[in-house]
């Protein structure tokens, strides 16, 4: 099957785009509005875009509280949603009125951040504290100028990790059981059993071939 996105064939009952670009980490974004009221919402168009300096991005629809709050205050946090918090994460996605505290709505507690004013989700295995670098409006769908998304780029200025998930100086990602967004209403979860390691190949001096170095990872990204 091959088709143009604007001409989805009848054989596909729903747009499959989000089911193909998977898995996507969930950015559980917390902000404060201009009055200091907390807001919490999960975003599946979320990821890291740089490590030097550490930068993240997420894409928000027009009119979302998170986007409006970040543009007003310049700060946000992203907590890692995991298996134990899946129901709370889902509840926090409700399109409630501005000013409603999704922490309370989802039965969550807010933990204070160190470097920014918005809190993180207490009980989340990890969280990052961010300051806004810039926003970038994306093209709106033809005929729907109100429906365009905006990409939010944030520089990471603080990192929280629950010590229970640090083993021998390494973060045990599988033990965190972080959630991943798939398509439709589907999710997945990283588990210790689903994590595997592969060293990157090292190019030969002449650049014409490559070899794999056996043994554990030496800590160098190549």
- Domains of the chain, each with CATH number or no CATH: 14-196 (2.30.110.10)
- Predicted local distance difference test score (pLDDT) of residue 64: 92
Q: In this predicted structure, which of 5-14, 38-47, 79-88 has the lowest mean pLDDT?
A: 5-14
Check whether 31 has a pLDDT greater than 90: yes
pTM above the 0.95 mark? Answer: no
Q: Can you tell me whether residue 77 is helix, strand or coil?
A: strand
The pair of three-digit structure tokens given for residue 118, joined into one six-digit string: 């918005």
- Predicted local distance difference test score (pLDDT) of residue 116: 98
- Predicted local distance difference test score (pLDDT) of residue 144: 78
Q: What is the pLDDT of residues 66-93, one digit of tens each?
A: 999 999 999 999 999 999 999 999 999 9
Q: In this predicted structure, which of 20-24, 141-145, 182-186 has the lowest mean pLDDT?
A: 141-145
Per-residue pLDDT band for 217 (boundaries 50, 70, 90) equals confident
Say if CB 25 and CB 46 are below 8 A apart: yes
Residues of the chain with pLDDT > 90, as a percent, come to 80
- Predicted local distance difference test score (pLDDT) of residue 6: 83
- Predicted local distance difference test score (pLDDT) of residue 63: 84
Place of tokens 């806004």: 132
Nearest to 117 by CA among 128, 129, 104: 129
């Amino acid at each position: 099957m091959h088709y143009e996105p604007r001409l989805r064939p009848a054989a596909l009952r729903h747009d499959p785009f989000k089911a193909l670009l998977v898995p996507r980490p969930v950015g559980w974004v917390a902000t404060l509005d201009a009055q200091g009221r907390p807001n919490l919402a999960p975003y599946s168009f979320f990821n890291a875009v740089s490590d030097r300096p550490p930068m993240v991005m997420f894409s928000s629809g027009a009119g979302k509280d998170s986007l409006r709050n970040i543009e007003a205050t310049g700060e946000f946090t992203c907590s890692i949603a995991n298996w134990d918090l899946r129901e709370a994460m889902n509840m926090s996605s409700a399109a409630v009125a501005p000013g409603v505290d999704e922490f309370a709505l989802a039965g969550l507690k807010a933990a204070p951040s160190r470097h920014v004013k918005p809190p993180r989700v207490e009980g989340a295995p990890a969280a990052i504290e961010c300051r806004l670098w810039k926003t970038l409006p994306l093209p709106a769908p033809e005929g729907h100028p109100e429906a365009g998304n905006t990409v939010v780029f944030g520089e990471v200025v603080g990192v929280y990790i629950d010590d229970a998930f640090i083993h021998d100086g390494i973060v045990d990602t599988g033990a965190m059981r972080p959630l991943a967004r798939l398509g439709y209403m589907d999710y997945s979860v990283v588990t210790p059993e689903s994590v595997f390691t592969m060293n990157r190949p090292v190019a030969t001096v002449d650049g014409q071939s490559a070899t794999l170095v056996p043994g554990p990872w030496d800590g160098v990204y190549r």
